[in-house]
Amino acid sequence: MQPTRRKLLVMAGLAPFYSLASAAGQRETTATERLVLSDFTGEEPFTIDGARWRGFTDRVMGGVSDAKFEQTEVAGKRCARMSGRVTRDYGGGFAQMALYLRQGSDVSAYRGIELLVHGNDEDYNVHLRTPDCGWHSQSYRTTFRAESTWQTVRLPWVAFRPNDLRAPLDTTNLRRIGLLGWMRDFEADLALAEIALYV
């Protein structure tokens, strides 16, 4: 059965993106394999059962960054793409496409996150959120450089540093993975073909 696609509700100040749910459920996997969370390269996009994508900018908190979130093709690959102007004006400074996982997502059998990305030779952030992250500034963060070619980036859990909280990263209950253009004035252009977990 093919995955189905449905639009997210457009909330005040929130850019519309899309939500993908697999009617067939989670792909078969073991802890000795990669676990694909979302893949845009096929005829129909895939997102693991119970997860959804959302794109938004600092406009949710009064900023003026402007980004577009779309499903498209970049350099020969189907992908999800976030592009636009990130600015720190008016206290802002981010654009984000985030994968919200179903509650109780235990990813502790894996070593980290693997991204198949294409960028514009700029640095981007990945922010993780767990139930320990109550305030909007709280997350576990790392940075990677997205070159202007398709590349695979692996980010181990140990690379993520807590921001504004003391609790260590709890991979037994991961709630959200966010890819961000972050806290500087620049043109963001990040394409994601696949996001997975690796052992």
DSSP 44-68: S-EE-TT-EEEEEEGGGGT---EEE
Q: What is the dihedral sign for C-alpha 119, 8, 134, 89?
A: positive
- The pLDDT tens digits of the residues spanning 96-146 come to 999 999 999 999 999 999 999 999 999 999 999 999 999 999 999 999 999
SS3 91: helix
Q: pLDDT class for 8, splitting at 50, 70, 90?
A: very low
Strand ranges for the chain from DSSP E: 4-6, 19-21, 35-39, 46-47, 52-57, 66-74, 77-86, 94-105, 112-118, 122-129, 139-146, 151-156, 161-163, 174-182, 186-198
Give the end-to-end CA distance of the chain in Å, rounded to a whole number.
28
Q: What CATH superfamily is the domain 4-198?
A: Galactose-binding lectin (2.60.120.430)
- The pLDDT tens digits of the residues spanning 48-93 come to 999 999 999 999 999 999 999 999 999 999 999 999 999 999 999 9
Task: Decide if pLDDT at 16 tops 80.
Answer: no
Going from N- to C-terminal start, the domains of the chain cover 4-198
What percentage of the chain reaches a pLDDT higher than 70?
Answer: 84
Q: Is the pTM of this model over 0.95?
A: no
Q: pLDDT class for 33, splitting at 50, 70, 90?
A: confident
